[in-house]
Amino acid sequence: MSQVDIAEFRTWLLGQIPLLGHMGLGDFDWNGRRLEIPASLAPNVNDKGTGFGGSQATLATICGWSLITLLLREQGLDCDLVIADSHLDYRAPVDGDFSARTDLPDTTAVDNFLKRLRNRGRAPLELTIDVRQGDKVAMQMRGRYVAIARGPQTVDS
């Protein structure tokens, strides 16, 4: 396994997806199991002065995508990753800076995901991502992401 430099990952990601460069994203917080991505309200505001739902959906989607991408990179796996399905539950407006946060599922789910990916070249992983303002969960997204191997994958232990 190799450690990913989160600052380098953030720079790479902003270069890959131009929209993200306009969302006022702060420094990513990654501890190996949890990822949190902060965003400023100002570039994501709607006509009511609160966080635009589309910005929250984008931030949640990219937070989940980034978490799994970090896992795959740390495992030395070369994959494409797509979001296959998502469900959004808007619970409260955000009226200040906010963040998206997600955790890897339990070890068994992650191990099964990696095993299936190595054996079949394709595997889904479901995540729950919270969009938060402080301690308040303003929106929750449940997403199913699918990793697709670009070539033969080897076990990197």
Ordered by start, the domain boundaries in the chain are 6-149
What is d(CA 46, CA 43) in angstroms, rounded to the nearest whole number?
Answer: 9
Backbone dihedral angles phi then psi of residue 97, each to the nearest 5 degrees: -55, 150
CATH class of 6-149: alpha beta
**Which residues, 6+ apart, have CB-to-CB distance to 53 below 8 Å?**
46, 88, 90, 139
Cα dihedral 116→117→119→120 (10° resolution)? 100
Q: Among 123-127, 135-139, 152-156, where is mean pLDDT lowest?
A: 152-156
Q: What is the pLDDT of residues 73-121, one digit of tens each?
A: 999 999 999 999 999 999 999 999 999 999 999 999 999 999 999 999 9
Amino acid identity at 79: C
pLDDT at 157: 42
Closest listed residue to residue 98, CA positions, set 150, 152, 151, 138:
138
Flag whether pLDDT at 131 surpasses 70.
yes
pLDDT at 4: 87
Cβ atoms of 81 and 68 closer than 8 Å: yes
Flag whether pLDDT at 2 surpasses 80.
no
Written as six digits, the tokens of 132 are: 């938060």
Closest listed residue to residue 71, CA positions, set 114, 29, 8, 36:
114
